[in-house]
Amino acid sequence: MAIYQDNRELIHRLKWLRGAFALLIIVLLVKLWYLTVVRFDHMQAMADRNQIRQLPLVAPRGVITDRNGVVLADSIPAFNLLLFLDEAEDLGATSRFLIQGLKIDAELLAERIAAGSRYAMFRPAVVRENLSMDDIAYVLAHQAEHPELKIFEQPRRRYPLGSLAAHVLGHVGEVSEGELQGETFQEYRPGDIVGKMGLERKYNRELTGRDGYRRVLVNNVGKILEELEVVEPIHGGDLQLTLDADMQRVAEEAIGDSPGAAVALDPTTGEILVLASRPAFDPNLFATRISMNEWRELTENPDHPLQNRTIHNRFSPGSVFKIIVALAGLEQGLVNPSSAVYCNGAVELYGHRFRCWKQGGHGLVSLRTAIQQSCNVYFYLLGQKLGIERISRFSKQVGLGAPTGVDLLGEVSGLVPSEEWKRRTFGTSWHAGETISVAIGQGPIDVTPVQLARAIGVVSTGRNARLHLVQGNGPIERTLTSPFSDENLRPVREAMWSVVNEWGTGRAAKVDGFKVCGKTGTVQMISNATRLRLSEEALERFEPNAWFVGFAPLDDPKVVVAVIVQRGGSGSGAAAPIAGAIFQSYYEKHVKPPKEIPAEFALKNMPEGVSR
């Protein structure tokens, strides 16, 4: 007997299943048409990007060393996080990932993405430098979700001695939008590292290498399948400086935390051995992006640690200027080494009473005593005889009032006044009484420490050499020679020797065995009348600036030193000891004979097998 089976429900279900399959096929066909026709260009570009990627190989900057090969700046490997903007399908999601996971500042990230978008097809944007191991682990753990992010090893600038010579070296940083629009950095692109100040900026082109790249085949999640081409980066050029790192350290430690500066140079070659400005900063802070707190600490510091006081700041020279005035008087025949005046503590000139620094006066003083004891009255009277025009002329002939041309950017000129300068600047005539103040380095005259060091170099040797910081940049110039004869230089040099080695004001700069010559200076910042009106707390901000300038040895000068300590109080108490430390350092390295080893000690410690 036949059994009847009702299959209507099964047939009904099969109809729905066939419909669902038909609908799915239609959807897939529509999607295929959409991707292959409507979105063809976009999908082709994505396919190309998924196949070939160009990865940057950043060139290390050149190494900077001191004159003895001590490394002052080099480059070390560091891991940076790069964002390939043209591969980011959802830039918002990528940004949230970076902000939340790596704690990248949202504003900073937006700036970097905006800057990098101009060159997205050529190079990725650097969104985080110097990744920590935790950062690296976090990115790698989410690599599949964010293939547009890649970790690359790239060189980072390093200053192994920290803040030592920071104002000479300067620092590097990412090229800014403003710099990209100027002529100097036209060939650079966002994300490039360039010199920002100091030698890093002055010699940026020489220090910058040439970047290379790797062209690789990758899959759709960024995994490298094959290396197609490699162009190796070219290392930047190296610089060897004239600077002596040991002497630089001695100078900076001697100045300490006080605002001040020191310069030491070889007057025969123009090589700068020390160029110290304090307080300083650590250029390593700028090797990665400096934080806002660190930046505020630098820029809001009242002592301005970013300023290079050796070339950017102008100071009244005070009594150290008396050296130039004395030489001008000798050269013009207005005084001779035996000429003497009587100092009773003050002198009346042009209806005004000009006081000496020593109450009661110095008594009868000759040129030697006047320099040794820094007698103001002697130089008041000599300044009256010379007049401002002759003082101005001789000052300019030793390089004051003009940049030295040292190979750093931003050097200021200083000021040597004249009658013409007064008319041009103020529209009034020069008054004879103003000359009296200028004669002792006060009034409208100012210099930079490096200018004053060059001037003393001319006094010490009778010639001028081009000041420079980079080896090979210093041929002797004949455009600026000493206006003073050897006959007139000799008594002034000997007087400067007595300042340090006899009962003078610079005894703290004395070095046994090294004939140091010098001159101190103490520059009041406010008048005595104003001083009486201020409280003790307020007076601390107006303590006198302290100077010392000098050279050694007397007979064959090899080193010139100029030191200023702002608010130091006195040249003898604050500046001379610093200069003495620098002279001592030079003497220990270049002059002092080595200690003799006793013969019996040498024989006892001679290695086995060596003939005795």
- Cα angle 244, 248, 253 (rounded to 5 degrees) comes to 155
Dist CA 123 CA 115 (whole Å): 11
Residue 303 neighbours by CB distance under 10 Å? 14
The full DSSP string for 459-522 is HHHSS----BSBTT--PPPSSS--SS-HHHHHHHHHHHHHHHHSSSTTGGG-BTTB--EEEEEE
Handedness of CA 257, 319, 402, 248 (dihedral sign): negative
For the four alpha carbons of 413, 570, 453 and 471, in that order, the dihedral sign comes to: negative
Amino acid at 19: G
Cα separation, 430 vs 124, in Å, equals 63
Specify the pairing of strand 239-240 against strand 64-65. parallel
**Residue with the two structure tokens 């300067």:** 170
Residues 6 or more apart from 511 whose CB is under 8 A from it? 552, 580, 583, 584, 587
Q: Which amino acid appears at position 177 of this protein? A: E
Contact 216, 201 (CB under 8 A): no
Phi, psi of 315 (to 5 degrees): -135, 150
Buried residues in 19-28 as b, exposed as e (16+ CB within 10 A): eeeeeeeeee
Q: Cα–Cα distance between 173 and 305 in angstroms, integer?
A: 18
From the list 553, 556, 589, 579, the residue with the least C-alpha distance to 453 is: 579
- Tokens at 212, concatenated: 């290379």
Rounded CA separation 162/145 (Å): 40
Burial of 71-80, coded b for 16+ CB within 10 Å and e otherwise, reads ebbbbeebbb
What distance in Å separates the CA atoms of residue 392 and residue 497, rounded to the nearest whole number? 26
Token output for 361: 């006066």
Is there a catalytic annotation at residue 319? yes
No. of H helices and E strands in the chain? 22, 19
Quickly tell me which residue has 């201020």 as its tokens: 534
Q: Residues with Cβ < 8 Å from 555, sequence gap 6 or more?
A: 515
In the three-class reduction of DSSP (H, G, I as helix; E, B as strand; rest coil), residue 274 is classed as strand
Q: Using CA atoms, how far apart are residues 498 and 490, in angstroms rounded to an integer?
A: 13
Of 163, 277, 316, 319, the active-site residue reads 319
Distance CA 170, CA 187 (A): 22
| Residue showing tokens 């030489």 | 327
By CB atoms closer than 10 A (0-12, 13-18, 19+), residue 448 is: buried
Residues annotated catalytic, as ranges: 319
